[in-house]
Amino acid sequence: RPHGMGVADRSRDRRAVERMSAYGRRLMQDRWTGHEHRVMTALWEIGLRVPYPVSYTEDTFVLQYVGGPDGAAPQLARAQLGPDELDDAARQLEAGLALMVGEGWVHGDLSAYNLLWWEGELWFIDFPQALDLAANPQGLNFLHRDVTNVAQWFTQKGHAIDGEALFASLL
């Protein structure tokens, strides 16, 4: 428990969150951005290609810019990939998932919209729903959903990925 925070303070915070008062929403936002910052820092430190998490406050999360002078990197879902690039992106996806799961994290909402494609590299983004694979009883279910979502997207684009086999390889 934070220094100086008594039982009454925690109880007040819990009620504020339950009621979703302005104060409760601020508490949740701070918790959410802090969580995403911690997860992305841990993943960046192990070498997963995520934008470097620069800093955060209760309502702002500052990340490394991925893109060029003409605009931000496109989401994978909107990127125009040729067959060789699609194969490379799939290989990078599998390697990235192995790193993430090996560190004990599950994205929690992975799709072609939470991946960027920039200069031949696949970037993982948007981690507010990330969860600890071992601590969360639904961790494996979320991992399975993440893997099958992206496998289906790749398969629809012409690079078949067996989502079940990929899921099994990550365990």
Predicted TM-score (pTM) of the model is 0.80
Does residue 24 register a pLDDT over 70? no
Burial of 4 (0-12, 13-18, 19+ CB in 10 A): exposed
pLDDT tens digit sequence for 111-139: 999 999 999 999 999 998 899 999 999 99
What is the CB neighbour count within 10 angstroms for residue 134? 11
pLDDT tens digit sequence for 33-81: 677 888 999 999 999 999 998 876 666 777 899 999 999 999 999 999 9
Q: How far, in Å, CA of 29 to CA of 27, rounded?
A: 6
pLDDT tens digit sequence for 87-117: 999 999 999 999 999 999 999 999 999 999 9
